[in-house]
Amino acid sequence: MPPETICKIVRQYNKFPISKEDMEKLKEIAEDYGKVKNYVYQRYSGMKSLPKLYPGYTIQNEMTRCGMREGLQMPSVYFYLAVFDAIGAIKSRWTKTKGEILKAIRQNEGFTEEEQHFLRYVLKVNNAFEAALNGSLLKLPKEVQRQYDFLAGKVDVHKMENYLRRQVRRYHHPPHAGKPDGFSITAKAYRYGDEGIYISVKEKRKRIFIPLTDHNTYTRQLFVRLYPEERNVELQIPVDRTVKKHEDYNRHVGISIGMLTMVVTDEGHCYGEEFGEYQTRLSDWIRKQSVIYSQNREANPGRKKYDAAKKRLEEQLHSYINQELNRFLREEKPGKVFIPKLPKPMGAGKGKKINHYAAMWQRGYIRERLMIKCREQSVEVREVFGKDISNQCSSCGSLGRKKDSRFVCSKCGYEADVKQNAAQNAKNRGENIETFPDYKNLRLRKFPDDGK
């Protein structure tokens, strides 16, 4: 078996500011690239075009014939990349739409079980979905056709198809290319050399040269991201990295993620103890800036300066998070990490300030980075259900109370740091689920509410 790999984006940067002239040429490609994408979006995002999306040659041929490339005088390498890029985006938009419809079906209690079954089946089988929306004839492999007929026999197909069409009209919005900020490029249109990269532009047989800060070379498809105002570019390259395996990583570790200390383990080890300070510094700064901004809205305080400073602070915070997550893996050597699921987003009316702060504290970023790092090191991450995870006693299972940062159980007398107790619960729940898969369905024992 080939070693398991994961895809990572590596980045390269220009060594010197790019000349105005060259930046204009790059912008020209990006703008054309965006035009082509938007054209494909407009023409092929709808229901009628669904049959053309798989495998996509029809769209490619129609785009060749439509004369747009000649009109823009665009090198064909960029033109077809833009077309494929757009087709990819349309496909993922459909995946999202189907997801929304599935959710709507689950929540619509008016459906019989057979109807739900039928609708889910149609959403799963590409051809059936297209045929249902467009009222065209179904062409399915024999076995699939048999299943379809069986499910269709139990429902009013016409009614179901109308329902699907209505949902598509409701949820399906064509993508839009937005501000043209870059373009993809294959090895046909670039060449590494002379400590930089040569990139084809619209003028025939002309390439512009960009010196780079590192001398790595690649052969894959790159994305060239433009920052015209700063006169910078960023090359983004997807690279396959081999997953590392550690023989000695085999411990079970429960963790709790917090706003002050980033990670607390079930044994009470702390990682990212300065996280709260970094976090406060960033949010204080943003608060101060927004006051300054509202005071001299007229005087036009430089937005660019603000963005650059904010980006710098965020980068510091992120590099601290990454460094501490690395230390967590190195020192704990986990084989499995148990982490509570995220609670549902807070409903409206809970106070804007709290929501703002909660949104600011990078919880999503920490989890995402943890997941990626664990995958890179072959460490398994298990999410456990999070209800009452910080109120339950990890020793006896009753509900206890929190006093400052301590957890106290009045039933058995157990006492621990709130976060450590939660991490112990995460570990208990994770291990219990592995032993008794039905564990999550067990109700928590309710005790008299002595916590308030």
Residues near Zn ion (CB under 5 A): 393, 395-396, 409, 411-412, 414
Q: What is the nearest approach in angstroms of Zn ion to the Cβ of residue 398? A: 5
> Would you say 256 or 421 has its CB closer to Zn ion?
421
> Would you say 26 or 393 has its CB closer to Zn ion?
393
Q: What is the nearest approach in angstroms of Zn ion to the Cβ of residue 265? A: 20
Tell me phi and psi for residue 359, to 5 degrees.
-70, -30
> Would you say 103 or 445 has its CB closer to Zn ion?
445
> Would you say 251 or 411 has its CB closer to Zn ion?
411
Distance CA 257, CA 82 (A): 41
Q: What is the nearest approach in angstroms of Zn ion to the Cβ of residue 391? A: 11
Distance CA 421, CA 174 (A): 47
> Would you say 409 or 422 has its CB closer to Zn ion?
409
> Would you say 118 or 407 has its CB closer to Zn ion?
407
Q: What is the nearest approach in angstroms of Zn ion to the Cβ of residue 301? A: 55
Q: What is the nearest approach in angstroms of Zn ion to the Cβ of residue 397? A: 7
- Is residue 87 within 8 Å of 40, Cβ to Cβ? yes
The H-or-E segment that residue 8 falls in is: strand 5-13
The CA-based angle 185-237-16, given to 5 degrees, is: 80
> Would you say 233 or 393 has its CB closer to Zn ion?
393
Cβ burial 40-67 (10 Å sphere, 16+ → b, else e)? bbebbbebebbebbeebeebeeebeeee
Q: What is the nearest approach in angstroms of Zn ion to the Cβ of residue 180? A: 60
**Local structure of 99: helix, strand or coil:** helix
Distance CA 259, CA 358 (A): 9
The H-or-E segment that residue 200 falls in is: strand 196-200
Q: What is the nearest approach in angstroms of Zn ion to the Cβ of residue 396? A: 3
Q: What is the nearest approach in angstroms of Zn ion to the Cβ of residue 404? A: 18
> Would you say 317 or 408 has its CB closer to Zn ion?
408
Distant-in-sequence, close-in-space partners of 320: CB < 8 Å, separation ≥ 6: 272, 274, 275, 278
Distance CA 335, CA 379 (A): 5
Distance CA 414, CA 106 (A): 42
Distant-in-sequence, close-in-space partners of 101: CB < 8 Å, separation ≥ 6: 119, 123, 164, 167, 168, 171
